[in-house]
C-alpha cells in the first residue's frame, strides 16, 4: 500500500493527514463499534506487528466528539497517543509505539471516544466513518488495512430533554470507592451498571423501579465485583426508562 503520509518514513510524532488506499485483502482491520450509548470503541485486529498508525474519525448527523481515551491494547503496549480536533465532528488520532518496539499481532480495543448529539442540529440518523488511515510496521513499511463504518437511527425523541440527570461521581479518580448521584423527574425503572473498556459488565448497582427524587449510590470496586479490578477507566451507565446516560470513572490504585 502506498500513500502520501510521512508517518512510516519517519514514525514521527506529527499528525500528517494524507489519504491512503485500503486493500480488500488486508489482514489488518480497524473497526468502529458503538460500545455503549454515546461511546464509540475503535478496535484493531492485526496480523502484522504495528509500530505506528494514524486515522481520522468523522461523523455526520450532528454528533460532537469528546477526546480519544486509550484502551486495553494501547495501555498494555505503552503506546503514545496524540490527537487533534479539526472540528466538533472530526477527530484526528496518531498512535506510536516506543522506539524499536511494535504492537504485537492480536486484537482488542485501542481506545474509546465519547460523543453527544446536538439537540438543535442533530438528525435521526448518525453516520461515523474512518478516513486517512495509515499503518506501518517497525521497519517503516506500510501495511494493508481495511476499515468499517457505523450508521444508526436514534429513537424518536432522542434529542428531547432528559427526564433525569446523572451527576459527576465523587471522588474521581477514586480508590476503592466513589459515590454516583442522579435525580429522576418522574418514577421510572432504573438500572445503574458499571462496564470496563472492553464492554464487559463489572457490577450492577441498581436494578429496580424508583420514585422521583435524588439518589446517591456508593460503588466500592473492591467489594462489588468478583474480579480484581485493575487501575484504569470504567464506564457507569444509567438506564432510565428508554433513556441512557454514560459517565467515565477512573480507578487509581
The mean pLDDT of the chain is 81
pLDDT value of position 58: 93
Cβ pair 107, 33 in contact under 8 A? no
pLDDT value of position 119: 62
Q: What is the pLDDT of residues 127-163, one digit of tens each?
A: 899 999 999 988 888 889 999 888 877 665 544 455 7
Q: What is the pLDDT of residues 36-69, one digit of tens each?
A: 668 898 999 999 999 999 999 999 888 888 889 8
Q: Classify residue 79: in a domain, yes or no.
A: yes
- pLDDT class of 224 with cuts at 50, 70, 90: low
CATH of the domain at 105: 2.60.40.680
Q: Measure the N-to-C terminal CA separation of the chain; round to a whole number of Å.
A: 43
CATH of the domain at 224: 2.60.40.3080
CA distances for 145 relative to 53, 135, 141, angstroms? 10, 7, 13
Q: Do residues 102 and 188 both lie within one domain? A: no
pLDDT value of position 197: 78
Task: Domain count for the chain, please give it.
Answer: 2
CA distances for 101 relative to 10, 18, 27, 43, 76, angstroms? 14, 24, 20, 20, 13
The model's pTM is 0.56
Q: Do residues 179 and 138 both lie within one domain? A: no
Asked if pLDDT for residue 14 goes beyond 70, the answer is: no
- pLDDT class of 108 with cuts at 50, 70, 90: confident
- Domain span at residue 213? 164-251
Q: How far apart (Å, rounded) are the C-alpha atoms in residues 156 and 139?
A: 51
Spell out the residues 6+ positions from residue 118 whose beta carbon is closer than 8 angstroms to its own.
62, 63, 64, 159
Amino acid at each position: 500500500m502506498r500513500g502520501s503520509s510521512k508517518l512510516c518514513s519517519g514514525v514521527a510524532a506529527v499528525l500528517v493527514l494524507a489519504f491512503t488506499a485500503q486493500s480488500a485483502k488486508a489482514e489488518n482491520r480497524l473497526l468502529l463499534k458503538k460500545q455503549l450509548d454515546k461511546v464509540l470503541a475503535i478496535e484493531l485486529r492485526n496480523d502484522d506487528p504495528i509500530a505506528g498508525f494514524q486515522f481520522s474519525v468523522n461523523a455526520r448527523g450532528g454528533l460532537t466528539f469528546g477526546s480519544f481515551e486509550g484502551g486495553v491494547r494501547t495501555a498494555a503496549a505503552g503506546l503514545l497517543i496524540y490527537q487533534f480536533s479539526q472540528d466538533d465532528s472530526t477527530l484526528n488520532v496518531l498512535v506510536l509505539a516506543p522506539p524499536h518496539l511494535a504492537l504485537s499481532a492480536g486484537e482488542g480495543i485501542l481506545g474509546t471516544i465519547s460523543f453527544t448529539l446536538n439537540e438543535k442540529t442533530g438528525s435521526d440518523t448518525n453516520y461515523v466513518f474512518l478516513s486517512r488511515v495509515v499503518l506501518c510496521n517497525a521497519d517503516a513499511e506500510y501495511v494493508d488495512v481495511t476499515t468499517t463504518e457505523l450508521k444508526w437511527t436514534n429513537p424518536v425523541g432522542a434529542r428531547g430533554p432528559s427526564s433525569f440527570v446523572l451527576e459527576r461521581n465523587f471522588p474521581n479518580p477514586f480508590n476503592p470507592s466513589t459515590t454516583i448521584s442522579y435525580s429522576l423527574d418522574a418514577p421510572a425503572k432504573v438500572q445503574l451498571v458499571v462496564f470496563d473498556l472492553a464492554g464487559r459488565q463489572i457490577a450492577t448497582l441498581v436494578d429496580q423501579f424508583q420514585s422521583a427524587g435524588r439518589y446517591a449510590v456508593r460503588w466500592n470496586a473492591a467489594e462489588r465485583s468478583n474480579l480484581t479490578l485493575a487501575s484504569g477507566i470504567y464506564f457507569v451507565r444509567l438506564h432510565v426508562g428508554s433513556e441512557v446516560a454514560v459517565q467515565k470513572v477512573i480507578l487509581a490504585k
